[in-house]
A and B are shown apart, each in its own frame.
Chain A
Amino acid sequence: METEGELLATSELRLERAHLVAMAAHCLSCYPEEGCGLLVGELSSGTVVEVHPTTNVAASSQLYTVDPLAHLRIDRAAEDSGLSVIGVFHSHTHTDPWPSPTDVGQAPDPAWHYVLVSLRHEVPSTRSYRIVDGNILEESVVVIGN
């Protein structure tokens, strides 16, 4: 297990520009409710291979819950492809892209990447975090490919 210091020094989320666009587009389509979805990829390198928008079954502007059955299906398909669910994205419709106490309290896995898409301003703003033992560690978002 990495220490927090190692996480801060090395953690990054690697994805293509199309993945950023897909997350922002889904979050905008869900507005004024929060949008959410899962990231599938390679856990060891933090590389996103697929973005899976899901239904926010909380149907709220302040809360999100990833559709559990969609999570099950996405997880199975990822495992069958030799990949993993490596994180989750969701929108903050009126606040900055910083994890809320609810986000931190309910973060299920310290190995995951927690991506926030803020719709506070005209252009969506995307940041990524690791959440370890209740501590928030912002990581670099590295755009790869075209």
Chain B
Amino acid sequence: MPVEVRLPTLLRPAVGGQPVVSVEGATIGDVLSNLQTAFPGIEGQLLTEDGSLHRFVNVYVNDDDVRYLDKLDTKVSEGDVISILPAVAGGTA
């Protein structure tokens, strides 16, 4: 079942410049894994070596941050929009 994945500008060069791609998957983990397989240039930018979500990346199913759902086990349904955005942070410290 394909879902729509909206990508940040940083990752678009790795998918031919597209802002949105269609990816198969029943969970967020499946979707991100299939995204990396389809576009190897993304590898390492979303998931860490141990397979968890990179701390500087936020992933949403519609309006919900998957960290507050079931993380990578969060189920996705047809029509869901997955958004990937960088965490934006810094400071003097």
Asked if residues B89 and A65 are in contact (CB atoms below 8 Å), the reply is yes
Number of A-B contacts (CB under 8 A): 89
How near does chain A come to B87, taking the closest CB pair, in angstroms?
7
**In whole angstroms, how far apart are the Cα atoms of A93 and B93 in the complex?**
11
Interface residues on A, range: 35 or more
With CB as the reference atom, state the residue of chain B lying closest to A64: B91
Tell me which residues across on chain B come within 8 A of A108, comparing CB atoms: 8, 10, 56, 86-88
Q: Within 8 Å of chain B (Cβ to Cβ): is A133?
A: no
- Taking Cβ atoms with an 8 Å cutoff, the residues of B that contact A are 6, 8-10, 13, 19, 56, 58, 60, 63, 65, 83, 85-93
- Taking Cβ atoms with an 8 Å cutoff, the residues of A that contact B are 1, 34, 36, 38, 43, 58, 60-66, 68-69, 71-72, 75-76, 79, 84-85, 88, 90, 92-95, 99-100, 102-103, 105-112
